[in-house]
């Protein structure tokens, strides 16, 4: 065998399935399988028709717009509900505050009435006439 063919044979052996024969101690190709070289373009999926691609993009964009509009509407509805609840809570708070002020007013009026009655009693007990007490502290209604 010629030494000039050795690199070629080595190259062929690397590309093929080979067996090792102990008696010869040389690698021989058992079977040569031809297959095409894999290119980067072969791994890419085939491209769509540009019109179909554009329609797909438009339908996706349309779906996104619809979803966005639906989300915005839900957000606005939620904001409106929260605003209504806030107004109702403020109204309820105002009603409670009004009731509290009315109770405080009634308590103050009762305290004033009690003070007037006690002052009248003290004046009457100290010996001042009823006409004089009525002139100074009119009787409660």
- What Cα–Cα distance (Å) separates residue 78 from each residue in 67, 75, 114, 127? 16, 5, 54, 73
pTM: 0.47
**Domain ranges (residues) in the chain:** 3-39, 54-131
Helix (H, G, I), strand (E, B) or coil at 129: coil
pLDDT of the residue at 131? 92
Instruction: Answer whether residue 102 shows pLDDT above 70.
Output: yes
pLDDT of the residue at 11? 44
Q: For residue 101, what are its two tokens?
A: 């002020």
Instruction: Answer whether residue 3 shows pLDDT above 70.
Output: no
Average of per-residue pLDDT across 29-40:
63
pLDDT of the residue at 38? 60
pLDDT of the residue at 119? 94
Location of structure tokens 């839900």: 74
Average of per-residue pLDDT across 68-81:
97
pLDDT of the residue at 19? 52
pLDDT of the residue at 9? 44
């Amino acid at each position: 065998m010629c030494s000039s063919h050795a690199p070629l044979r080595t190259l062929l052996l690397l590309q093929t399935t080979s067996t090792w024969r102990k008696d010869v101690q040389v690698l021989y190709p058992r079977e040569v399988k031809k297959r095409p070289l894999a290119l980067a373009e072969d791994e890419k999926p085939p491209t769509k028709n540009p019109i179909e691609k554009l329609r797909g993009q438009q339908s996706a964009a349309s779906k996104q717009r619809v979803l966005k509009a639906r989300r915005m509407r839900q957000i606005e509805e939620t904001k409106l509900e929260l605003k209504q609840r806030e107004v109702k809570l403020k109204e309820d708070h105002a009603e409670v505050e009004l009731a509290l002020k009315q109770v405080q007013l009634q308590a103050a009026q009762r305290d004033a009435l009690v003070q007037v009655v006690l002052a009248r009693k003290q004046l009457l007990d100290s010996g001042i006439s009823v006409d004089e007490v009525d002139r100074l502290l009119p009787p409660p209604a």
